[in-house]
A and B are shown apart, each in its own frame.
Chain A
Amino acid sequence: RKEVEQDPGPFNVPEGATVAFNCTYSNSASQSFFWYRQDCRKEPKLLMSVYSSGNEDGRFTAQLNRASQYISLLIRDSKLSDSATYLCAVNYGGSQGNLIFGKGTKLSVKP
């Protein structure tokens, strides 16, 4: 069974806080991983891909732990504009495969 699990939240944090999300997946053969951001009543948009060695983009850091089958997203110095739902996505089915999405973690950053 294809499963991608996330804590639904909501995470309510003050501005400037550091917040971390985890996402677990069931298929050990998965090879590509992503974090998407979805604003209210909008479509999901790619936030960042997750590479085996971990990667950073400004205040955002993504990491992959293959042994434990989870990916993480760390947001430092959170801004009001970071408020959104964060979806993790995991590839299934190889090169012609598709993404399976978690249900998302809702983040609310307060002044």
Chain B
Amino acid sequence: DAGVIQSPRHEVTEMGQEVTLRCKPISGHNSLFWYRQTMMRGLELLIYFNNNVPIDDSGMPEDRFSAKMPNASFSTLKIQPSEPRDSAVYFCASRGQGMFNEQFFGPGTRLTVL
């Protein structure tokens, strides 16, 4: 069974460039989460969607970050313009209906902004 799919797995870009991270959740899951992980701050929730609708984006650092979920099988996280402090691992996770269900994580995108 395919798990959560993320692309790209690695991204190296220069400051000021636009970065788009992509996620395909597990089929049938109705909740999707974007996290960022750094050594200093740990795993931080950026935004999550239920049934393609953004529920809480309070974790999005600033206006440079935006996320969309146009349908149940695809989501993007965009950073424009990127900055060196955005360097981190970005994880996407999905979950079936209900808070007692497990969140399944994708393999992550390792972003380096030079």
Contacts and interface: CB of A to CB of B under 8 A. Distances in A.
Contacts, number: 53
Contacts of B12: none
Given A32-B99, A46-B102, A96 B45 contact: no
Contacts of A102: 42
B7 to A, nearest CB: 14
Q: Give the interface size bracket for A toward B.
A: 20 to 34
Given A31-B99, A43-B91, A101 B43 contact: yes
Interface size class of B (residues with CB under 8 A): 20 to 34
A103 B102 contact: no
B105 A43 contact: yes
B76 interface: no
Interface stretch (B13-21, B48-56, B65-73, B79-87): B48-56
A52 to B, nearest CB: 12
A98 interface: yes
A66 interface: no
B45 A95 contact: no
Do most interface residues of chain A lie in helix, strand or loop, or is the interface mixed?
Answer: mixed
A26 B107 CA distance: 29
Interface string B95-110: 0001110111111100
B99 A94 contact: yes
B22 to A, nearest CB: 16
Interface string A38-58: 000011111001000000000
B55 A99 contact: no
A106 to B, nearest CB: 11
Interface string A16-52: 0000000000000001101000000011111001000
B5 to A, nearest CB: 12
B50 A101 contact: no
A102 B107 CA distance: 19
A32 B100 contact: yes
